[in-house]
């Protein structure tokens, strides 16, 4: 029997140590402040911010959401206040948190990504970058980057070299690349990101989907398609993590459809070192903490003292 206080829940992502493996996924948790009244943000393993782009983005036309069987579609379109407003208005609160903050970075061009990573390199209080090359809901950039291995390697290489030149501790922040499942061979993209120097990968972003209103005879979302998330995508994400974690040597962070500890454990057994809870937060904001509790219970039950060893059980 393993004692709870002896459990080692920490996770290493490059030079960054996460206190535990359960983070909250980009786009579902805003910039932390929104959900702070509903759960103790400090107890999270990591907070992945809503995407930040160089310039402010209004986002896509409404409606942006649709209800689907055991899931939802979103077409937010990376709505965000832009890098400078993020630094001025959002970062001060994020700096007060006890959990690592990983900024999700998105862009339309390689320069967009580069300028954001460069600028954030001179700001303290950040744990790392999650490079979003997998957003399915924008016309330029986003998923277009994440489906071409040569582009992925070049972009990641450039961002890593910018990161390396940052002052002080910022030069050691991990660059995590968030991958799209909307590709023929995700292993190919994963290896390209690894070759570019990525410290870790996040799998998966949402799957492209559409809901049609049969009364009005038109798609529910103004943009037509959106990204599918929620319990419905869980087995897709688990399969991707299983594949990708065997294709690369860098750590893989699993996300997609996690609603309870058992879902998260599937990812950890499949080969993920950490997980992110996303859509389930909308339904039950306390889900990340319940997931963490369930992982602890599992480790005690199975006699596993280090969370990083869970994958060895498969």
Alpha carbon distance 256, 289 (integer Å): 17
Q: Is 196 in the site for another protein (CB under 8 A)?
A: no
- Indicate the length of the chain as a whole number: 314
Which of 119, 260, 296, 305 is close enough to bind another protein by CB under 8 A?
A: 260
Contact 257, 233 (CB under 8 A): yes
> Based on CB atoms, which residue is closest to another protein, 30 or 187?
30
Stretch that binds another protein, among 70-78, 132-140, 170-178, 203-211 (CB under 8 A): 70-78
* Catalytic residue selected from 135, 203, 260, 309: 135
Contact flag: residue 62 with another protein (CB under 8 A): yes
Give 195 or 210: the residue with its C-beta nearer to another protein. 210
Which positions from 15 through 34 interact with another protein, judged by CB under 8 A? 27-30, 34
Helical residues (DSSP H) of 196-247, grouped into ranges: 234-247
Q: Which of 283, 302, 313, 314 binds another protein (CB under 8 A)?
A: 283
Beta strands in the chain (DSSP E): 11-13, 16-18, 22-24, 46-48, 65-68, 71-74, 101-105, 128-132, 175-178, 200-203, 207-210, 212-213, 218-219, 225-229, 252-255, 274-277
Q: Which is nearer to another protein, 37 or 168 (CB)?
A: 37
CB nearer another protein, residue 64 or residue 163: 64
Could you say which DSSP state residue 3 is in?
Answer: -
Q: In which order are the strands placed within the sheet that holds 225-229?
A: 65-68, 71-74, 225-229, 207-210
> Which residues contact another protein by CB under 8 A?
27-30, 34-35, 37-38, 50, 58-67, 69-72, 74, 76, 79, 230-231, 259-260, 279-286
């Amino acid at each position: 029997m393993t004692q709870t206080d002896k459990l080692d829940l920490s996770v290493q992502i490059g030079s960054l140590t996460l206190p535990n493996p359960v983070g909250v996924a980009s786009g579902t948790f805003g910039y932390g402040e929104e959900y702070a009244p509903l759960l103790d943000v400090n107890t999270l393993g990591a907070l992945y911010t809503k995407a930040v782009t160089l310039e402010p983005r209004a986002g896509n036309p409404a409606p942006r959401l649709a209800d689907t069987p055991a899931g939802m579609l979103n077409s937010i379109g990376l709505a965000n206040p832009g890098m400078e407003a993020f630094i001025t208005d959002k970062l001060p609160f994020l700096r007060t948190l006890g959990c690592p903050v990983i900024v999700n970075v998105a862009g339309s061009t390689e320069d967009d990504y580069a300028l954001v990573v460069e600028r954030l390199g001179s700001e303290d209080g950040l744990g790392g970058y999650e490079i979003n090359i997998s957003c399915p809901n924008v016309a330029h950039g986003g998923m277009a980057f994440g489906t071409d291995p040569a582009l992925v390697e070049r972009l990641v290489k450039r961002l890593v070299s910018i990161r390396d030149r940052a002052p002080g501790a910022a030069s050691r922040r991990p660059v995590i690349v968030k991958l799209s499942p909307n590709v023929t061979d995700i292993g190919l993209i994963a290896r390209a990101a690894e070759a570019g120097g990525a410290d870790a990968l996040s799998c998966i972003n949402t799957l492209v989907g559409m809901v049609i209103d049969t009364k009005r005879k038109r798609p529910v979302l103004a943009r037509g398609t959106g990204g599918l998330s929620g319990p419905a995508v869980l087995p897709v994400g688990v399969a991707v993590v299983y594949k990708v974690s065997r294709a690369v040597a860098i750590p893989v962070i699993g996300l997609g459809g996690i609603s309870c500890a058992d879902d998260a454990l599937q990812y950890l057994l499949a080969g993920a070192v950490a997980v992110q809870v996303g859509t389930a937060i909308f339904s039950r904001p306390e889900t990340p903490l319940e997931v963490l509790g369930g992982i602890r219970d599992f480790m005690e039950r199975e006699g596993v003292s280090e969370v990083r060893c869970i994958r060895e059980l498969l």
